[in-house]
Amino acid sequence: MTIQFISLGSGSSGNSYYLGTPDYGILIDAGISFRQIRKAFKLHQIDTSKIVALFITHDHGDHIRHIETLIDKLNIPVYCTANVHSGINKNRLIRQPIYQDVHHVEKEKAIQLRDFTIEAFEVPHDATDNVGYCFEVDGKVFTIATDLGEITPTAAHYLEKANYLILEANYEEEMLQMGSYPRFLKDRVASRTGHLSNFAAAEFLSNHYQSKWKHVWLCHISKDNNHPELAYKTVENRLKEIQITVGKELQVMVLKRTVASDLYEFD
C-alpha cells in the first residue's frame, strides 16, 4: 500500500501534517487553515474528503488555532489526551468549547483506526499536556516528535522504532542567545520543556542511529533563531561523523514554515 505524507505547515505560525493511504488519511494538528489545506491538497490532487480524523499533539495556538473550522468543514472526530482536550477548551482562541466527537487517547496505549495503529507518548513541553505520536500503517512506522525540550528515553523509544521521523529542530543555540528574544523567552525556548535545538536533534540522530530509518523531516524551524540550511548542515555533519551519508543511507529534509511540502509517497 502506498503511504502518503504531506507537511501543510511547520513552525510557530502554524503546524499540520497529513498521513494517508490511497483511500483516506489523518491530520496531525490544526494550526493551518482549511483554505490552506484545501489549496495544498488540490495541488497534490487529493480530495479533502479523504481526511477522516484529527490528532492533536498539544494545546498551543500554533497547533490548534483552526480546530473549529477544520471540525466544521471536514466533519471529523478529534483525538487527543483528556488534558489536551480541557486545555483546548480553555484556550482563548477557541470560541465554543468542543465536546462532540472528541476521543481521549491515553499515552502509550495503542488505538486502532482502520489500518493505523496509533500510540501517543509523553514529550516534555510547556502546554497543558504534550504528546508525540507513533503511527504504524502497512508495516511502516511514522513517529512525530515536535515541541519538546529534550528527547526523553520514552520519546527516544518511539523515534528509534520508526522508519520515518518528523523531528523538531527549532533553534540554533548561538542564534537564540545572540538574538532579539527577551531573556525570559530565550530561557523558555532553551529549557527542558521548551523546544529542541539543531544540536540536540543532530546528537540524537547520530547517537541513536537506526539502519531502519529512511527519512527524517526536520520540523518547527524557528524564523528568528534558525536557518533551514543550518539545521540541515548540523544534522548532515553530525551523521557524517558516524559514516552515515545524508542522501544515501538516510534522507533528511527541512520542512518549510509557511508552505506545504511535496507529497511524499512510500510503497
Piece in contact with Zn ion (CB under 5 A), picked from 55-63, 70-78, 225-233, 240-248: 55-63
| SS3 state of residue 139 | coil
The CB-of-138 to Zn ion minimum distance in angstroms stands at 29
Q: Which three cell numbers stand for residue 231?
A: 539545521
Distances (CA, A) of 84 to 60, 114, 156, 169: 9, 23, 22, 23
Told to check if 257 binds Zn ion by CB under 5 A, we report no
Angstrom distance (rounded) from CA 105 to CA 111? 8
Rule CB under 5 A: choose which of 60, 66, 186, 257 binds Zn ion: 60
Rule CB under 5 A: choose which of 29, 62, 119, 136 binds Zn ion: 62
Told to check if 236 binds Zn ion by CB under 5 A, we report no
The CB-of-205 to Zn ion minimum distance in angstroms stands at 20
Told to check if 147 binds Zn ion by CB under 5 A, we report yes
Told to check if 195 binds Zn ion by CB under 5 A, we report no
Told to check if 66 binds Zn ion by CB under 5 A, we report no
The CB-of-105 to Zn ion minimum distance in angstroms stands at 18
For 148, counting Cβ atoms within 10 Å of its Cβ (0-12 exposed, 13-18 middle, 19+ buried), the class is buried
The CB-of-232 to Zn ion minimum distance in angstroms stands at 20
Told to check if 168 binds Zn ion by CB under 5 A, we report no
**E strand segments, the chain:** 3-9, 16-20, 25-28, 51-55, 78-80, 102-104, 111-113, 116-122, 131-137, 140-145, 164-168, 215-219, 251-254, 264-266
What letter does residue 127 receive in the DSSP assignment? S
Q: Looking at beta carbons only, is 201 or 239 nearer to Zn ion?
A: 201
Q: Looking at beta carbons only, is 25 or 132 nearer to Zn ion?
A: 132
The CB-of-169 to Zn ion minimum distance in angstroms stands at 13
Q: Which three cell numbers stand for residue 168?
A: 523538531
Q: Looking at beta carbons only, is 147 or 150 nearer to Zn ion?
A: 147
The closest alpha carbon to 169, from 120, 242, 226, belongs to: 226
The CB-of-183 to Zn ion minimum distance in angstroms stands at 20
Piece in contact with Zn ion (CB under 5 A), picked from 35-43, 53-61, 98-106, 136-144: 53-61
Q: Which three cell numbers stand for residue 11?
A: 513552525
Identity at 83, one-letter amino acid code: N
Judged by the rule CB under 5 A, the positions of this chain that interact with Zn ion are 60, 62, 147
